[in-house]
Amino acid sequence: MRKIVLITSIVLVVISISVVSGLMLTQEKSNPVSDKETLVSENIQQQQSLENINILSCNCVAFRLDDIPGPFPIVEVELINFFMEKKIGLTLGIMGGMLGDVLENDVQSENNKSISIELIKEELKKNAEILELSNHSWRHRNLLAFDRDGQLNQIMQTEHEMIEIFGKKPAVFLPPYNNFNQDTIEILKENGYTHMSSGRNKDFAPFPLKDSEFYRFPATTLTGWRDTSGEWVTSPHQVTFSEIKKGLSDHGFAVVMMHPRDYTMKNNTENFDVVNPEQIQELELLIKDIQDNGLRIVPLGKINIDS
């Protein structure tokens, strides 16, 4: 008797499986969905999810040229002229202590270091909407080595020097080595600064694009850096543009950090104040990539959409 019951149960299970399989096969045939269509649907859902996370975007890129004035004045002038002739935005990181050195010691006759300062003055009169001056502290010293009063002194000395030489109070701050702390932010807010740009590994989201009294827009890519061996290396325009797109996707903006050294000629590991035409061509191609993709190029202080 037990054998009969067991056999009957097995038969019923087999029949049930067959019926269910038949129903599933019928549903597949009546409403076919290929693996490809499923993947497309999932990709659309993921894209919609990303758009919901990051609705706001300035659809823009900002370039910051750090360490002005520095040891490469001829290259500085080439880069400033490059942006001004194309009528595209550029933010200069001004070191107050270096301004004083150049002008007070009259080094123009020695190596033309003041030519970039004179050019900046001229371009501010003609292109104030696209040429932006930012405070890059006094002599590019790490602010984390100072207490609050020390940081205040580094920042405000530079501000006073910039007002005296250029007649303009900066509203943007670029911390040396991209390092800052809460003291830095409090000092900037108390003294009327509205924007700060550090580095992608030094500041972390969220980065509001509107309705903020103080905006933080760190560099999301860079055109040159010192590698572990101490040699200065540069990035191809394709790599830089790929990181620009990632910055826009992740945060709704992109900031490119540049140094005059990126565009100098080099002999072994030594850089010279001679323009490197190949690097200028890389910059040309990068600008073309940006513009061909419908992106605006703006000063750093114009990234936020309520600017």
What domains lie within the chain, and their CATH numbers?
58-133+196-302 (3.20.20)
Token pair of 148 as six digits: 């609050």
> Could you tell me the sign of the dihedral formed by the alpha carbons of 170, 176, 178, 184, in that order?
negative
Specify the pairing of strand 224-226 against strand 195-196: unpaired
> Could you tell me the sign of the dihedral formed by the alpha carbons of 49, 53, 59, 61, in that order?
negative
Residue 280 φ then ψ, to 5°: -65, -40
d(CA 67, CA 131): 15
CB 56 within 8 A of CB 30: no
Neighbours of 223 (CB within 10 A): 23
CB 243 within 8 A of CB 206: no
Q: List Cα–Cα distances, 42 to 29, 31, 55, in angstroms.
A: 21, 18, 20
CB 189 within 8 A of CB 165: no
- Which residue's entry shows tokens 């049930």? 16
Residue 306, Cβ density class (10 Å: 0-12 exposed, 13-18 middle, ≥19 buried)? exposed
- DSSP β-bridge partners for residue 199: 219
pLDDT at 220: 97
pLDDT at 112: 64
- State the 10-residue block means of pLDDT for the chain, 307 residues long: 44 42 37 38 42 72 97 95 98 93 57 82 96 97 98 98 96 98 98 97 96 97 90 94 97 98 92 96 98 98 96
d(CA 43, CA 254): 24
- Which residue's entry shows tokens 């010192």? 226
pLDDT at 269: 81
Long-range contacts of 115-123 (CB under 8 A, 24+ apart): 115/73, 115/74, 115/77, 116/68, 116/69, 116/73, 116/76, 116/77, 116/80, 117/69, 117/165, 119/77, 119/80, 119/81, 120/68, 120/80, 120/92, 120/166, 121/165, 121/166, 123/80, 123/84
| Overall pTM surpassing 0.85 (yes/no) | no
CB 95 within 8 A of CB 76: no
